[in-house]
Structure 1
């Protein structure tokens, strides 16, 4: 139709972009949590690691806008998806880093 405007991303590319950014940010947050809690006696229980995760989740939404994702179309489900994907990758990667005593 003549009134429809083509978005910058197709629905498939929008989903791939959001998923890729959430996954990468989860891994980056895990490495950052490992760096931030490196000197702690019990790094796994240090709340600074969770603060890093929260920051990684919040910083994604402005980045998505800069990339060109239309944030007006985001529903609660989309926000929860980004948070869950970031948390999942952070949890697994930071768990591996803690288990192997990796330091940076």
Structure 2
């Protein structure tokens, strides 16, 4: 028979529900989400800079580059290559759902658009 002290010590374990995670698991998942967001941000910035430098010189009259499609291709490549970066930094990409991949793609697009736009508008000719 268990004493009252033993029952009190085991009570929190009994109250823990099946799908509930402990503090360490929550922290580890949070750090993985931060890493995934950083990968998306850096890929977006890199794709934006590559888009600017490799799409040709800016036409001062229109503010556009002659090969803008190259920039869009760099954006798509930035989204696709994230899977390989996740493998390199040992993040399990198989557990990501459609919502997670949409978030990754959106963050990459947002930073690609911002960095490329800033580069286009600050160009002096």
| Residues 14-71 of structure 1: CA deviation (Å, up to 9, x unaligned) | 1110000100111101110011113364318721110011111111111102211111
1:67 and 2:89 are equivalent in the alignment: yes
Paired residue for 1:17? 35
Q: Report how many aligned residue pairs link the two structures.
A: 97
Task: Work out the CA distance in 2 between the residues paired with 1:38 and 1:77.
Answer: 35
Q: TM-score, normalised by structure 1?
A: 0.82
What CA distance in whole angstroms lies between the structure 2 residues aligned with 1:102 and 1:52?
24
User: What is residue 86 of structure 1 aligned with on the other side?
Assistant: 108
User: What is the aligned-residue RMSD (CA, Å)?
Assistant: 2.3
- Measured in 1, the distance between the counterparts of 2:80 and 2:94 equals 16
Secondary structure in 2 aligned to 1:10? helix
State the TM-score, normalizing by the size of structure 2.
0.69
* 44, 50, 57: which one aligns with 1:39: 57
Q: Is the 8 A contact 2:41 2:111 kept in 1?
A: yes
**Unaligned residue ranges in structure 1 (runs of 5+):** 1-5
For the pair shown, which has the larger CA radius of gyration, 1 or 2? Answer: 2
Which structure 2 residue ranges, 5 or more long, are not aligned?
1-23
Task: Compare relative contact order (CA 8 Å, sep 6+) and give the higher one, 1 or 2.
Answer: 1
Alignment partner of 1:29 is 2:51: no
